[in-house]
Amino acid sequence: MRKYFLIGASAFVLGAGSMAYVSQSARATPEPRAQTYHMLELFGDVLDKVKSQYVTPVDDKKLIEAALDGMLSSLDPHSNYLNADAYSEMQDQTRGEYGGLGIEITSEDGVIKVISPIDGTPAARAGIKAGDYITAVNGQSVLGLTVNDAVKQMRGKAGETVTVTIAREKTDPFDVKLVREIIQPKSVTFRMEGDYGYLRLSSFNEKATDEMRSAIEQLKAKNPNLKGFVLDLRNNPGGLLDQAVGVAGLFLDGGEVVSQRGRDPKDIERYNAKPHGDITGGAHLVVLINSGSASASEIVAGALQDRHRAELVGLTSFGKGSVQTVIPLRDGLDGAVKLTTARYYTPSGRSIQRTGITPELEVAETREEAQQVANQAFQFSEASFHNALNADEGKERKGAHEPAEAPPAAFDEKKGDFQLTRALDVLKYGSVAATPKLPKPAATLADAAAVRAARLSAGKPDAGEKPN
């Protein structure tokens, strides 16, 4: 049975790879037997009442699957039950070939929320964004459905049209028509940007390391005198742990990439890059991240940052710092349990669960996004989930604060990529410290008020003010 470490951001995916570890068995500390047997008997009693007295006939299998999923999803946003069909789909997704719309989703308080659209898929082409809510599919509400049930509403034959209703901050709900496709995303795209190589990694499927190695080699062949690389991990929701280690290893000469620690603090597993693995020859490297960069992306960004191999540009990452173990039940015939079993740590020992990776140069993609940084209400991250696993070090994610660098008024946001522009500036000047800084935009009145309120709630009054 193949094993997978899943470290992706979502509870389920529609065209994206999540990350976990698939094992044959798992152990748990049992509760006192008498109490356990009593609660199991109670479950049977409730099931019997529902079967005999509910207003319409019920499907026993669906009820029990929903109960299993509810039990697991109550633990944290990334633990859940996969029935046999969902487990098979997950295996297809990690192989990088699957059908769907190209959306990675999760459930937040009974509402389906988009983690990230996948590059080159129907969802990405239609403009669906991270943080969007999906409220209906083909006119039928998905509110209150489990992620698995919502997925079934959106799955279908390739070539058929499906209409999803999107709710987005500051806009009225609107419909988006998508045509289902057999999703076979290429995880790596690349091009020259002047004297620099640009590498875009959209997901960490089984092909990620090989595709990244090939892209670097092709860029070097095209220009043997490359002055550096930009590695773009924006909106990359994660994938396979071994691929995160492999991709990081293409820029490192051995040494630790990531470690993971489970319930027992002495149980530490470390993952190292291969010696003499830096195929770029130590070329200058800048990594682009944003709030859609999750799990595997954060492992790579954190490792390259801690090892002083790269500087980071963009916005603080998602903060998905936990590992899920996918445990097949009866070899997958009864599906599988996806269970959070460990946190992962960067080489310096940082747990980034909830807090995320902070870039050396904070840069917003648009002027609107810069204002969102000043208003915590618009920031979607791991910390947004009410039952997210706590940060191991007791740290908190940075809240509303002064807006980041943003495109100046003369910059065309529709045609240009301001974060990439600033990453190339860092390569040009040699470091973030040497790169001339741009003035940060002033927060709008409403956003300034939000920052002020956040400071007061944290017990940090402005000058001349006292907390209540």
Would you please indicate which residues are annotated as catalytic (active-site) residues?
295, 306, 320
Name the CA dihedral angle for 423, 429, 431, 436, rounded to a multiple of 10 degrees.
Answer: -80
Residue 161's identity, in one-letter code, is T
Q: Which residues contact 219 (CB under 8 A, 6 or more apart)?
A: 190, 192, 197, 199, 226, 229
Instruction: Label residue 177 exposed, middle or buried (CB < 10 Å: 0-12, 13-18, 19+).
Output: exposed
What does the alpha-carbon distance between residue 334 and residue 319 come to, in Å, rounded to a whole number?
32
Contacts of 247 (CB under 8 A, 6+ apart): 201, 204, 208, 209, 212, 300
| Lookup: tokens for 458 | 């944290």
The DSSP line for 271-287 is EEEPTT--TT-S-EEEE
Cβ proximity of 135 and 42 under 8 Å? no
Task: Check if the beta carbon of residue 133 is closer than 8 Å to that of residue 168.
Answer: yes
For the chain, the first-to-last Cα distance in angstroms comes to 59
